[in-house]
Amino acid sequence: MDQAILGIDIAKATFHAALLTADSATNKSFPNNAKGFTQLEHWLRNRKVDRVHACIEATGSYGEALAVHLAETGHTVSIVNPARIKGFAISELQRNKTDNIDAGVIARFCKALQPPAWTPPPPAVRELQALVRRRQNLQATRQRELNRRQVPGLPASVERSVEGLVKFLDAEIDQLDELIRKHIDQHPDLRNQTQLLTTIPGIGEATAAVILSEIPDISQFRNVKQLVAFAGLSPRQHTSGSSIHRKSTLSKVGNPRLRSALFFPAIVAMTHNPVLQRAARRLRAAGKSKMVVIGMLMRKLLHLAYGILRSGQPFDPAFGPAQ
């Protein structure tokens, strides 16, 4: 083993680390904060380990600070779709599940498959991501409250409470929109990329902000198919032998925030984007359902975004989606 391997299982308050070296395997848990990150470094040095290849599941925001810390202190970091870890655990016939066991599975996955290194986004993009995700969370809370208001027989006192909270959330979302606009305007790269993306009919400033925060570096994708897979928008086929031929669906194995951000823009683009209008007409003529058409348009919007960000050129309806 050329490099020590560190599998990390993340929780809200703690993280569990499994260290694999040439001659040993050890486990330890740490608090998931700056103090815990320092303790991890001391623990590694006490075991005469200077650098590790660390592997973390992409399961939410609780592991992001640790991933950034490890990358900035010179370690190799991989952030892996948890479906791959689950599949690897099944291949090992794992029957038990604890934090230490999970960390060991992640470490062995990293050793066996050597996933590619992750590069932390620049600070400006990390701040944009935090602002955009906060806005998405508030939007989700607002929608839950609106749904609650539709409950039959809701007491007037509860309805007033719901309306007050919705009003408060509207103000918070408006404030976040302003913060996002100012942040983008203060950073020339983000401002230029936003201007390029919003030349695509169907993509407004809010969607552009999600794209730029969830795809911090377009150059990490060798081709548009990798980006489509990253968003979970690749078609998933299910056929077997001569008897099983199910309809293709979206894989949904990818970034859910990016995927959901493209849903309503795809509906708008069906009417206002000439490139996507033509594609939608062809699919409808072929008898495809509305949801199949929308899924295809989401994918093609991502094609357009990829081509525009890679080329630095605005949308041109004379050209189709980037291939």
Q: How many helices (H) and strands (E) does the chain have?
A: 13, 7
Which residue type, as a one-letter code, is found at position 277? Q
Q: What percent of the chain has pLDDT over 90?
A: 70
Look up the pTM and report it: 0.83
What pLDDT, in 10s, does the model give residues 133-191?
Answer: 999 999 999 999 999 988 888 899 999 999 999 999 999 999 999 999 999 999 999 99
Helical ranges in 92-155 per DSSP H: 99-113, 123-149
Q: Closest by alpha carbon to 194, among 322, 314, 319, 323?
A: 314
- Integer Cα distance of 303 and 290 in angstroms: 20
Largest Cα–Cα separation, the chain: 68
- Integer Cα distance of 91 and 123 in angstroms: 38
Q: For the residues 283-307, what does the mean pLDDT come to?
A: 91
Q: What's the burial of 283, exposed, middle or buried (CB within 10 Å: 0-12/13-18/19+)?
A: middle
Neighbours of 22 (CB within 10 A): 8
Phi, psi of 134, rounded to the nearest 5 degrees: -65, -40
What pLDDT, in 10s, does the model give residues 13-27?
Answer: 999 999 999 888 999
Q: For the residues 3-18, what does the mean pLDDT come to?
A: 94
226-252 exposure pattern, b = at least 16 Cβ within 10 A, e = fewer: ebbebbbbbeeeeeeeeeeeeeeebbe
Q: Closest by alpha carbon to 174, among 162, 166, 186?
A: 166
Q: What is the DSSP letter of 22?
A: S
Assign 309 to helix, strand or coil. Answer: helix
Phi, psi of 249, rounded to the nearest 5 degrees: -130, 170
Q: For the residues 90-106, what does the mean pLDDT come to?
A: 88
Give the model's pLDDT for residue 8.
Answer: 96
Assign 252 to helix, strand or coil. Answer: coil
Q: Which two tokens stand for residue 45?
A: 């040095």
Helical ranges in 18-122 per DSSP H: 34-46, 64-72, 82-91, 99-113
Phi, psi of 17, rounded to the nearest 5 degrees: -115, 135
Give the model's pLDDT for residue 182.
Answer: 98
What pLDDT, in 10s, does the model give residues 214-270?
Answer: 997 898 888 999 999 889 887 654 444 554 445 656 656 778 899 999 999 999 999
CA torsion, points 117, 119, 120, 121, in degrees to nearest 10?
-140
Q: Out of 38-47, 82-91, 180-189, 197-206, pick the least confident.
A: 82-91
Mean pLDDT across the chain: 90
CA torsion, points 92, 2, 230, 127, in degrees to nearest 10?
120
Q: Which two tokens stand for residue 60?
A: 């939410």
Which residue type, as a one-letter code, is found at position 88? F
Segments of 216-278 assigned E as strands? 235-240, 244-250
Give the model's pLDDT for residue 219.
Answer: 87
Which residue type, as a one-letter code, is found at position 26? T
Residue that the structure tokens 């490139």 belong to? 275
What is the full DSSP assignment across 155-207?
A: -HHHHHHHHHHHHHHHHHHHHHHHHHHHHHHHSHHHHHHHHHHTTSTT--HHH
Q: Closest by alpha carbon to 301, among 228, 193, 205, 192?
A: 228
Q: Closest by alpha carbon to 207, among 286, 147, 262, 143?
A: 262
Give the model's pLDDT for residue 60.
Answer: 74
